[in-house]
Amino acid sequence: MAHAVLIDFIHAARGAGVRISTAETLDALRAVDLVGYGSRARLRDTLGMALAKSTGDRQLFDETFERFFTASRMAALANASPAGDDSTTDTAPPPPVEGDAGTPTGSGGGSGGSPQPTSALGQMLMQGDPAALAMAMTQAAQRANIGNIRVFTQKGLYGRRVLQEMGGEQLDLEIIRREDGDDPAGRALGDELKRRRQLLRDEIRDLIARQYLLSAAQANRELREEIIREANLATLDEFRGVEQIVRKLARKLAARHSRRRRVEQRGLLDVRRTLARNIRHDGILFEPQWRSKRIERPNVVVVCDVSNSVRAYAKFLLLFLYSLADVLPRVRAFAFSYRLGEVTGLFRDHDFSEAVGRTLALYGMGSTDYGLALEELAALCGDDIDHRTTLIFLGDARSNYSEPRADILRRLGERARQVIWLNPENAGRWGSGDSVMPRYRPYCTIAETTRTLDDLERVVERLLKRA
Amino acid sequence: MNRPNVPAADELAARLATAGYLASDATALAVFLARALNKPVLVEGPPGVGKTELAKAAATVLDLPLIRLQCYEGLDEAKALYEWKYGKQLLYVQVLKEQLGDLLRGAKGLEESVARLHRFGDIFYSEDFLEPRPLLNALRQEHGCVLLIDEIDKADAEFESFLLEILSDFQVSVPEIGTVQARSLPLVFLTSNDTRELSDALRRRCLHLHIPFPEKKLEQRIVEARVPDVPAALRGQLVDFVHALRELDLKKHPAISETIDWARALLLLHADSLDAELVSRTLNVLLKHEEDIADVRNELKALLK
């Protein structure tokens, strides 16, 4: 029974977004067997250590734990036999009723005194032991598979199933029988049973509601993440939790590409390997070995247009950038609309909303001038751009009919490893109106429409592969 | 393999305390579970909360040797696991060259010579020529040990994957010798400062322990244990002040070790209560960035209330 509850909990924690493998589930069960259910704090720490393996996961875990291990459930667990000896969780349910509840034998079995309920559930209700009841309810819930609940309209269905698993049918029959009987004591008992049945129903409803919150959350979140990833960047503001997803993307990319090894043609003498290699030649060193692997880090310069026309995009591009800068140490970020300036320091020293706020306040004013921005970029960091640098532009290349200065881009591009242009506009519109994209296009290694997070991820992935 | 007796969590906490490490309940529990389940512990937390100290203290109370592997960029198997003693091999080859003639004397034909040589085949790649590095050392300890893999996030992702075999099965393959199985299961601590995201595979194999900055009460006890001469009133004040600093938006928050250093400094200055002048003069013990010090100086009045 105790293990069944833990497995339920793990289900719920997964639902809340904690990634838990089967091996970890087993670890958790073993750990809890050692620690027991005596202390709630200790149970939480034990499960947390075995199941939640990062700070973010731990937070989700703690929330789920608070919701799942309520005081009544803890009481039921503490009363249960020491964990471990009944680990057969998914076997067939025990017969819910014993004996002859189906054959009415007058009221109360003929003996004198107040009548006793005949159905098993009725007896349990009248004994009024909350721990036993909570345990029976949890077991019944397990048998009714309430972990599978997905939509809220299923709540009633699962509620009935749980009650049924607890032996509700026999209880119903008994109540009807007693209410129709002549014995006033029996009728009183019937009324009392009816009242307690209602209380039990309420409790079951709470249990189901809790379970619904736990397990349906997962399905919903996955769906939402998919939607967000495919939504147009400009509309992302309307979603909650976007930041997390963007950050996750950036982290994933950065972790995969933050460092790469390259086999070089030449390198330093590797004494160790030279000795090892030449033992076969009697120890005469005539086959020198070189250290030829070099570790390279991508060196990224990002220039982001934050003017009004692309502001909605810019915010998320900046967020993406911010998350990248968080993990890639060598990202330099610039923002411009009319003036251009470096925002690397802002991003390093402040949290995201603060950094974006300041960036927009400092550089978001005025009408865009790409030519001027390029001039200033060349002045600010032109010398630092070399064959290791990847230069990324984020913007619509709408320059308000000013001179685009594509010659500067060409010059920078010749020195950089690659130039990437991410444009929120459809390629079909490039060149229309004041768009100078066709002038820049020849000097870009890649120029792509980037409208959604998925686009963004794809392009950046490709970029880092080449870097 | 020997399975050691495991003291319960409460007893561990008490024993760690006698070794000078005041552990929170979760920390003691982690050591207990690591020992009982034979799982490595991944310890995370801000710098200076005693992640490395925990491994040292655990080694002391469990009476096991501590073997430490400091990770850094470019760390590879040769430095972490084993290395052949090339110099020795080379020397032996030169010295033994003459012996070869004796060995082969009287052998009829090439085949017999080769057969004779085969009998000596792997001499040069035997244990005698093996230079064990920390990881192999840890596996070869007769009575177990505490293995501390410090700052695993500084090592490369490749090294991390290489660690997986050791962490889950406590064995490792040396191509020339075969699989080396742990003689006795080591208690493994990995520490990380989160400079790089660790792989899920590694995280799955470990118990996860996050050590936050300690609560006021615990930190007071730590200061009391480490700098016993500080008067109780001052101790309360200084811990309160450090906690207030941790609430601020600073480049680097003061860690426990800095609290202790500060307590020592105040003791040397014969202080018995905090005042703005004193704090201002000794701030550089607590804070390590010029801007942080300037920021805090400006707010000193409010902080000391």
- The CATH architecture of the domain made up of B9-74+134-210 is 3-Layer(aba) Sandwich (3.40)
Q: What is the pLDDT of residues A48-63, one digit of tens each?
A: 999 998 887 888 899 8
When mean pLDDT is compared over A231-240, A414-423, B120-129, the highest value belongs to A414-423
Q: Is residue A458 part of a domain?
A: yes
**Mean of the per-residue pLDDT values for chain B?**
86
**How close is the nearest chain B Cα to the Cα of A148, in Å?**
26
Residues A183/A186/A192/A195 CA torsion (nearest 10 deg): -80
CB contact under 8 A, A283 and B93: yes
pLDDT at B27: 92
- Domain ranges in chain B? 9-74+134-210, 82-128, 216-299
Q: Are residues A342 and A441 in the same domain?
A: yes
pLDDT at A346: 82
Q: Which residue of A has its CA nearest to B199?
A: A255
Q: What is the pLDDT of residues B152-208, one digit of tens each?
A: 988 877 788 888 888 888 888 888 788 888 888 999 999 998 777 788 888 888 999
Write out the residue range of the structural domain in which residue A281 sits.
262-296
Q: Are residues A303 and A448 in the same domain?
A: yes
Which residues are paired to B208 by β-bridges? B42
Contact at 8 Å (CB) between B210 and A55?
A: yes
From the centroid of its chain, how far is CA B166? Answer: 16
Q: Which residues of B touch A (CB under 8 A)?
A: 9, 25-26, 29-30, 32-33, 36-37, 39, 41-42, 44, 73-74, 78, 83-84, 86-87, 89-90, 93-94, 97, 124, 156-157, 196-197, 200, 203-204, 206-210, 251
pLDDT at A85: 39
Tell me which residue in B32, B86, B197 faces A276 most closely, judged by beta carbons.
B86
Selected residues 254-283 of chain A with any CB under 8 Å from a CB in chain B: 254-255, 258-259, 272, 275-276, 279, 282-283
Q: Using a CB-CB distance cutoff of 8 angstroms, which residues of chain A are in contact with residue B204?
A: 21, 23-24, 53
Q: Using a CB-CB distance cutoff of 8 angstroms, which residues of chain A are in contact with residue B9?
A: 35, 42
Please, which pLDDT band fits residue A88 given cuts at 50, 70 and 90?
Answer: very low
Is A17 within 8 Å of chain B by CB?
no
SS3 state at B189: strand
Q: Phi and psi (nearest 5°) for A13?
A: -65, -40
Calculate helix-pair angle for B25-37, B9-18, nearest 10 degrees: 110
Cα separation, A445 vs A426, in Å, equals 18
Cα separation, A94 vs A186, in Å, equals 29
pLDDT at A218: 62
**How close is the nearest chain B Cα to the Cα of A226, in Å?**
22
Q: Are residues A343 and A455 in the same domain?
A: yes
Please, which pLDDT band fits residue A101 given cuts at 50, 70 and 90?
Answer: very low
Q: Phi and psi (nearest 5°) for B209?
A: -125, 120
Tell me which residue in A19, A48, A255 faces B197 most closely, judged by beta carbons.
A255
Q: What is the pLDDT of residues B195-241, one digit of tens each?
A: 777 888 888 889 999 998 999 999 999 899 888 888 988 999 999 99
Q: Is residue A244 part of a domain?
A: no
Degrees, nearest 5: CA angle B18-B23-B28 = 100
The helix or strand, by DSSP H or E, that contains position A332, with its residue range, turns out to be strand A331-336
CATH code where residue A323 lies? 3.40.50.410
Q: Which of A228-242, A260-274, B37-51 has the lowest mean pLDDT?
A: A228-242
**How close is the nearest chain A Cα to the Cα of B86, in Å?**
6
CB contact under 8 A, A35 and B9: yes
Contacts by residues A341-348 (CB-CB < 8 Å, ≥ 24 positions apart): A341/A376, A341/A380, A342/A380, A342/A381, A347/A321, A347/A322
Cα separation, A7 vs A104, in Å, equals 40
Q: Are residues A277 and A389 in the same domain?
A: no
Q: Which residues contact A267 (CB under 8 A, 6 or more apart)?
A: A290, A291, A292, A293, A294
CB contact under 8 A, A272 and B37: no
pLDDT at B66 over 90: yes
pLDDT at A267 over 70: no
pTM of the model as a whole? 0.62
Please, which pLDDT band fits residue A329 given cuts at 50, 70 and 90?
Answer: low
Q: B231-261 burial, b if ≥16 CB within 10 A, otherwise e?
A: eeebbebbbbbbbebeeeebeebbbbebbbb
Domain boundary among A79, A101, A132: A79
Q: Is residue A239 part of a domain?
A: no
Q: Which of A218-232, A310-324, A341-355, B20-34 has the lowest mean pLDDT?
A: A218-232
Closest C-alpha to A65, from A81, A77, A80, A83: A77
Say how many residues make up chain A.
Answer: 467
Q: Which residues contact A122 (CB under 8 A, 6 or more apart)?
A: A170, A171, A174, A193
**Mean of the per-residue pLDDT values for chain A?**
77
Q: Are residues A402 and A322 in the same domain?
A: yes
pLDDT: which is higher, B98 or B43: B43
Q: Is residue A92 part of a domain?
A: no
Q: Are residues A57 and A199 in the same domain?
A: no
Q: Are residues A281 and A308 in the same domain?
A: no
pLDDT at A95: 41
**How close is the nearest chain A Cα to the Cα of B203, in Å?**
6
Q: Are residues A317 and A278 in the same domain?
A: no
Q: Are residues A148 and A136 in the same domain?
A: yes
Please, which pLDDT band fits residue B2 given cuts at 50, 70 and 90?
Answer: very low
Which of A30, A35, A54 is best to mutate for the B interface (most B CBs within 10 A)? A54
Mean local confidence (pLDDT), A230-243: 62
Q: Which residues contact A297 (CB under 8 A, 6 or more apart)?
A: A258, A259, A260, A328, A329, A330
Cα separation, A338 vs B11, in Å, equals 67
Residue B133: is it exposed, middle or buried by C-beta count within 10 angstroms (0-12/13-18/19+)? Answer: middle
Q: Are residues A423 and A384 in the same domain?
A: yes
Q: A26-41 burial, b if ≥16 CB within 10 A, otherwise e?
A: ebbbbbbbbbbbeebe
Which residues are paired to A449 by β-bridges? A423
Q: Give me A407's structure tokens.
A: 């010659």
pLDDT at B148: 95
Cα separation, B169 vs B115, in Å, equals 37
**How close is the nearest chain A Cα to the Cα of B208, in Å?**
5
CB contact under 8 A, B197 and A49: no
**How close is the nearest chain A Cα to the Cα of B229, in Å?**
34
pLDDT at A98: 39
pLDDT at A293 over 70: no
Mean local confidence (pLDDT), A312-335: 73
Selected residues 439-458 of chain A with any CB under 8 Å from a CB in chain B: none
Percentage of chain A with pLDDT > 90? 3
Please, which pLDDT band fits residue A219 given cuts at 50, 70 and 90?
Answer: low
DSSP A446: E
Q: What is the pLDDT of residues B261-300, one digit of tens each?
A: 999 999 999 888 888 888 988 999 999 888 889 888 888 8
Q: Using a CB-CB distance cutoff of 8 angstroms, which residues of chain B are in contact with residue A276?
A: 84, 86
Mean local confidence (pLDDT), A235-253: 65
Cα separation, A122 vs A176, in Å, equals 13
Q: Are residues A275 and A359 in the same domain?
A: no
Contact at 8 Å (CB) between A32 and A46?
A: yes
Q: A263-299 burial, b if ≥16 CB within 10 A, otherwise e?
A: eeeeeeeeeebbbbbbbeeebeeeeebeeeeeeeebb
pLDDT at A224: 64
**How close is the nearest chain A Cα to the Cα of B204, in Å?**
7
Please, which pLDDT band fits residue A337 given cuts at 50, 70 and 90?
Answer: confident
Q: Is residue A58 part of a domain?
A: yes
Q: Are residues A211 and A267 in the same domain?
A: no
Q: How many domains does chain A have?
A: 4
Please, which pLDDT band fits residue A221 given cuts at 50, 70 and 90?
Answer: low
pLDDT: which is higher, A237 or A307: A307
Which of A18, A20, A42, A45 is best to mutate for the B interface (most B CBs within 10 A)? A45
Percentage of chain B with pLDDT > 90? 28
Domain boundary among A79, A106, A141: A79
Cα separation, B54 vs A233, in Å, equals 46
Q: Is residue A248 part of a domain?
A: no
Q: Is residue A256 part of a domain?
A: no
Which ipTM was obtained for this model? 0.82
CB contact under 8 A, B33 and A251: no
Q: Using a CB-CB distance cutoff of 8 angstroms, which residues of chain B are in contact with residue A53?
A: 42, 200, 203-204, 206, 208
Domain boundary among A55, A79, A103: A79
